[in-house]
Amino acid sequence: MTQGVGNIQLSRLTLVTALLSDVGCQRSVNEDFALSEAPSAETLEAARKGTLVVIADGLGGHAGGEVASRMAAEVVRRVYYASPSEPAEALREAFVEANHLIWETARRRPLLRGMGTTCTALAIRGHEAFAAHVGDTRLYLIRGGRIYQMTEDDSEVMEYVRQGRLSREAAERHPEKNILLKALGTRPAITPGFWERPLRVSAGDQFLLVSDGVHDLVTDEEMCAVLLDAPPDIACQRLVDLAKARGGHDNITVGVVWAAGSEGPARSVGGVPPLLRETREARVVS
C-alpha cells in the first residue's frame, strides 16, 4: 500500500492532497500507480505550473501493466513541468510523449509487448484547474454537495451512449463496460482528451481521481458522501476499505484534492445503500 499527503498555499486557497493505492483482495501485483507534485515557490518554472496529480491503471491481464502505469505517471510529471507551454497544452504534450515512450519500450522489450495503461491527470494553478485523460480512470468534482463526473470513459459502452444506443444508467451495468477503445502505449500515436480551457476552482471544491477498482464497486453518490464526511486522507482510506469490503477484485487507487477555504467542505450525515458490481479484466480494442 502506498500513501501520500501534501499541502501547498495558493493565493486564497490551500490545496490539500491525499493519495492511496492498494493491491486489492485478489491481485498479487498492484498495476495502479499514483503521484502528486506540489512545487515550492523556489522552483519558479515548476511553481508556474501549479500542483499536479496523476493516477494510472496498467491494463489487467496485459504484460507490463505495472511498468506502463508507473512510466505514464512519471513521464506526464516530467514533461508537464518541463514544457514551456501553458498547462492545458503541456498536459496534452505530456500524454502524447508518455504514449510514445510506452509504445517504444514495449516494441523494444519482448516481455513487455502489449502493455498499456489508462491515465488521468489534474493540474491546478491558482484558481484554475486543467485535466487530461485516456481510458477509464475517472476525475470527479464535488461542489455544493453534489458530484459531477468530469471525464468520459474511452470505452466501447460509452461509445454506445454517445451514439444514443444506450443510456448512461444501462452503461454502468453493461457486462462489457471495461472494454477500452483507447489506452496509453497500445498504438504508436494517440489523441488524449484534455480541457482546452480551465475550470474555475472555488473554495470548498473537491476533486476525486479514481481507478476502476473504485468506481466499479462504489457508486458516485457513495463517493460523494464519503468526501463530504471526511478530510482527504481519511476519505481515501474509507473508499479503499469500501471497495475491498465489496470484493476488491481489482487494484484500488484514490486521489483527493481539496481546495480549502476559510471553512471545511460541507458535511453530510448517513450513507447510501451499497450497490454491488463485479469488476472484470480490461482489454483494448485496437
Predicted confidence (pLDDT) per residue in 76-133, tens digit: 999 999 999 999 999 999 999 999 999 999 999 999 998 999 999 999 999 999 999 9
For residue 146, list its beta bridge partners.
Answer: 143
pLDDT band for 275, please (50, 70, 90 cuts).
very low
Mean pLDDT, range 66-75, rounded to an integer:
97
pLDDT given for residue 9 in this prediction: 46
> So what's the pLDDT on residue 155?
74
Backbone φ, ψ for residue 119 (5° rounding): -160, 135
* pLDDT score, position 215: 95
Question: What is the average pLDDT across 237-266?
Answer: 87
Top pLDDT among 61 and 18 is at: 18
Confidence of residue 13 (pLDDT cuts 50, 70, 90): confident
pLDDT value at 68 more than 80? yes
Burial class (CB in 10 A: 0-12, 13-18, 19+), 82: middle
Inform me whether the pLDDT recorded for 135 exceeds 80.
yes
Element (H, E) at 18: strand 14-22
What would the grid cell of residue 261 be? 477555504
Strands 128-134 and 199-200 come out as antiparallel
Local confidence band at 38 (pLDDT 50, 70, 90 cut-offs)? confident
Compute the distance between CA of residue 276 and CA of residue 283 in angstroms, rounded to an integer: 22
DSSP state of 142: E
- Mean pLDDT over residues 7-33, rounded? 85
Distances (CA, A) of 90 to 25, 39, 75, 103: 36, 16, 12, 20
Average pLDDT of 256-276?
Answer: 52
Model pLDDT, residue 173: 65
**Average pLDDT over every residue of 5-11:** 49
According to DSSP H, which parts of 109-229 are helical? 156-162, 168-173, 212-215, 220-229
Q: Examine the pLDDT at 279 and tell me if it is beyond 80.
A: no
**Listed residue (96, 95, 8) closest to 49, CA to CA:** 8
What's the grid cell of residue 152? 468520459
If we measure between CA atoms, which residue out of 213, 188, 207 comes closest to residue 124? Answer: 207
What was the pLDDT predicted at 46? 63
Helix (H) or strand (E) holding 210: strand 206-210
Give the tens place of pLDDT for each residue, 147-203: 999 999 987 666 665 666 666 666 566 656 677 889 999 999 999 999 999 999 999
Enumerate the β-bridge partners of residue 3. Answer: 20
Rounded percentage of the chain residues whose pLDDT exceeds 90: 70
